[in-house]
Structure 1
Amino acid sequence: MSQSAKRLDKEITKRVKLDYLLHLPEAYESEPEKKWPLILFLHGSGERGSDVELVKVHGIPKLADQDPQFPFIAISPQCPEDSFWAMEEDALMALLEEVEDTYRVDPKRIYLTGLSMGGYGAWQLAAMYPDKWAAVAPICGGMEPKYAEQIKDIPIWAFHGAKDDVVPLSESEQIVNALEEIGGNVKFTVYPDANHDSWTETYANKELYTWLLSHSLS
């Protein structure tokens, strides 16, 4: 089943609008009783704007575009120009709610990932809604260590390039170290030769998806 472009336009306390790509696995229609795991993907700063096709440049939507059998429902929203994911939390959660209401999503297997600006967004959204995610995979992002307590029970696998000259490795290290100090459920992969693009290798790694699917909410 091909990836389709859609728009959320919803009134909550304010009106929120987000364009997004939706991927349904190829077997979605042929297995009408099955509930599917879902991945929410947050792109980096370079894909902001009003052309949702830009979101396919990297990461989960790129993979889903190339592989119709990608075995997750995937939501890939586009952040508006001059905004950041931390400013779009209401819209992201409204989008997630709409997709859950419309499609056969397994509520115990909802996963969150993002790269660069989206890596920061994934950390932040995990901290704001810690009970929502079965597992989180932030890539070359970061968060202040003071939020560690809020996310210590979420399975997290963070990724970063050691030679990143856009988002320093220390951005991931400080929150990972804080989580390790309080017994958080965290893994950390550092690519010794990678610069800012630590996402291509990460999203190409089948172990990531096996790891995600090994976690579900109780």
Structure 2
Amino acid sequence: MLVSQTGRRSGSSPASFSGALAAVAAVALAIAQPGSAQPSASAPQADGPPRFPMRMEPDPRVQQRSYHFADTNEDLAYTVFVSSKVKPGTPAPLIVALHGYGGDSNFIVRGRLVDLAEEGGYIVVGPMGYNATGWYGSPVIVMGGGAVDPPNLTELSEKDVMNVLALARSEFDIDPKRTYLMGHSMGGAGTLFLGQKHPDQWAAIAAIAPAAFMMQPNQKDILAPIKAAHLPLLITQGDQDPVVPVANTRTWSAAMNDLGMEHEYIEMPGRDHGNIIADGMPDIFRFFAAHTKDK
């Protein structure tokens, strides 16, 4: 394992995400963690790109919820997991978990994440991000090209995340010094974006194989508010990832190092875009447990 590999530069330009996204649906079908149910989505169709959203059987420990999204007058799904160690009257740590492109929060709020959340006494919420391809406020990439639909998708996707955060805080006794953000792929890009836009909301953030291609030319501008807020950032990446190439993520590591940020970069040999989720999860929980907001 290569840990805190902050000085390494690939020198390569960002990969074409249009080509990488052609593999997303097939990869998503393989991200079910060991022992979990396989997704019920069909493989990519011969006559065009896969149909979204893809579905995965929920982890039975995770609650399926919805709330009314007033901006568009519709109900939006989200997930909730509450550790058995959470007790009334005792503030609990919270994780907001952002799923990848084409799925829903059941693709990330499951398996190893839930195991570790149970062990650590966490509450976890998984927003939809308005829809399966919302990008959580970060620049939208549309598979196959075409217009962003609806045109204000970035605004709606970001607002859904912040609404679900507010719902968790209104329902549970949440520790404001131990509120964390993580995300995979598209959700990793969302983590970087929402981390820099709302740095006061989080004690630490973690991006898993972040598909932050559109932000890469401005990555130091994205990272600067995270540094200024003294917000710790962890990035995990598999070196065999066919969707988010390791060379791209190494440029984020180099930028964090150049800025002198409080961060870790963990690159795991042999891991791809799917198994990095579960295999990297213990390090994410270790990182979160080590960081509490000062104020």
TM-score after normalising by structure 1: 0.84
How far does residue 111 in structure 1 lie from its aligned partner after superposition?
Answer: 0.6
Structure 1 Cα separation of the partners of residues 279 and 243 of structure 2: 17
- Give percent identity, aligned residues only: 24
Give yes or no for the alignment of 1:217 onto 2:273: no
Q: CA deviation at 1:66?
A: 5.7
Unpaired runs of at least 5, structure 2 = 1-59, 138-153
Matches within 5 A, 1:66-77: 69-70=118-119, 71-77=121-127
CA shift digits 1:108-134 (9 cap, x unpaired):
101111111111111111011111110
Residue type matched to 2:196 in 1? A
RMSD over aligned CA atoms reads 2.3
Matched, 1:4 2:63: yes
Measure, in 1, the Cα distance between the counterparts of 2:115 and 2:70.
34
> Does the aligned pair in 2 maintain the 1:163–1:194 contact within 8 Å?
yes
CA distance in 1, matches of 2:68, 2:196: 25
**Long gaps (5+) in structure 1:** 49-54
Aligned position for 2:111: 62
Of 157, 162, 175, 1:93 maps to 162
Deviation at 1:15, TM superposition (A): 5.5
Which residue does 1:51 correspond to in 2? none
* CA displacement, residues 135-161 of structure 1 (integer Å, 9 cap, x when unaligned): 111000034312121111211110111
Query: CA–CA distance in 1 between the matches of 2:93 and 2:99?
Result: 20
Q: Look up the SS of the partner of 1:69 in the other structure.
A: helix
Matching residue's letter, 1:37: P
Count of aligned residue pairs for this structure pair: 206
Distance 1:101 1:212, change over 3 A: same
Structure 2 partner of 1:52: none
Greater RCO, 1 or 2 (C-alpha within 8 Å, sep 6+): 2
Tell me if structure 2 keeps the 8 A contact 1:149–1:179.
Answer: no
Question: How far did 1:10 drift?
Answer: 4.0
TM-score, normalization: structure 2? Answer: 0.63
Q: Which amino acid in structure 1 is aligned with residue 80 of structure 2?
A: L
Q: What secondary structure does 2:162 align onto?
A: helix
Cα separation, 1, equivalents of 2:233 and 2:77: 27
Which of the pair is proportionally richer in strand? 1
Q: Residues 17 and 91 of structure 1 are in contact (CA less than 8 Å); yes or no, is this contact kept in structure 2? A: no
**Map of 1:84 onto structure 2:** 135
CA distance in 2, matches of 1:188, 1:162: 12
Paired position in structure 2 for 1:24: 82
Cα pair distance change 1:45/1:187, threshold 3 Å: same
Are residues 66 and 187 of structure 1, via their aligned partners in 2, closer, same or farther at CA, if it must alter by over 3 Å? Answer: closer
Name the aligned partner's letter for residue 111 of structure 1.
Answer: Y
- Counterpart in the other structure of 1:148: 223
Q: Decide which structure has the larger Cα Rg and report it.
A: 2
